Amino acid sequence: MATIDEDLAQLERDIRQLKIEYDAFFGGGRKRPPTEIEWRIELLTKRYAERGGDMKYGQRFRFNNLAQTYAKYKDIFRKRLAQREEGKVQRHFGAAAKAIEAERTKTPPEPTTAAPVAGAAEAQAFRVVCSEPEKETEKVDQLYSAFLQAKQNAGEETSKLSKAGFKEFVRKKTKDLQEKKNCRDVEYVVEVVDGQVKLKALVKS
């Protein structure tokens, strides 16, 4: 049986493949819509919308972003199919999808709580509190995954990111704030502001 991370990776691949195959369908390269892939995506999104409690914070963050992307594409597909049935076929689906993605990154939804959302999930801020990051490896891993996923979804450069470097940054930042602000807990927040992914470190009283 596949793990949650494996299912999420499959979901991401399926959404990417669905876009490619719908592009081919609307461009005349295939006779039928890719209903098999769409059915598989629907199954996975429904399953994990109902299993939010089984996922870690980073997994929920990733799932919600994938579900949101799929909802955007699904709306495009529905409109193109309607146009096709009415004899108003447009053969530029790929460009339209890119425009939708660009618009999505420029106008991010308002952050919500970390709970999964059924259907068209909203993008959300990811939060985690650390006091001893060198011992709280799972928390730091979740924070790194959320930060990496958010940057990828926003189309930002991620090739220079490394988990080891990120962990060292969190360790030093936490220690620095603890010494300067005389506090124990530091809250890290991953959010999208004006289309750009931000990582904030906030002192917890």
What is the pLDDT confidence band of residue 116, given thresholds at 50, 70 and 90? very low
Q: Out of 13-17, 25-29, 31-35, 114-118, pick the least confident.
A: 114-118
| d(C-alpha 170, C-alpha 177), whole Å | 11
Q: What is the pLDDT of residues 72-91, one digit of tens each?
A: 888 888 888 888 777 655 44
Q: What is the pLDDT of residue 122?
A: 37
Asked if the model's pLDDT at residue 46 lies above 60, the reply is yes
Asked if the model's pLDDT at residue 167 lies above 90, the reply is yes
User: In which residue are the tokens 């009415």 written?
Assistant: 86
| d(C-alpha 121, C-alpha 124), whole Å | 9
Q: Rg (Cα) of the chain, in Å, rounded?
A: 19
Q: What is the pLDDT of residue 12?
A: 92
Rounded mean pLDDT of 21-37? 83
The residue ranges of every structural domain in the chain are 4-106, 126-203
Q: What is the pLDDT of residue 10?
A: 92
Asked if the model's pLDDT at residue 201 lies above 90, the reply is yes
Cβ(12)–Cβ(64) below 8 Å: no
Cβ(90)–Cβ(96) below 8 Å: yes
Asked if the model's pLDDT at residue 158 lies above 50, the reply is yes
Cβ(73)–Cβ(21) below 8 Å: no
Q: What is the pLDDT of residues 170-184, one digit of tens each?
A: 999 999 999 998 999
Asked if the model's pLDDT at residue 121 lies above 80, the reply is no
Rounded mean pLDDT of 187-195? 86
How far out from the chain centre does Cα 53 lie?
Answer: 18
pTM for this prediction: 0.47
What is the pLDDT confidence band of residue 193, given thresholds at 50, 70 and 90? confident
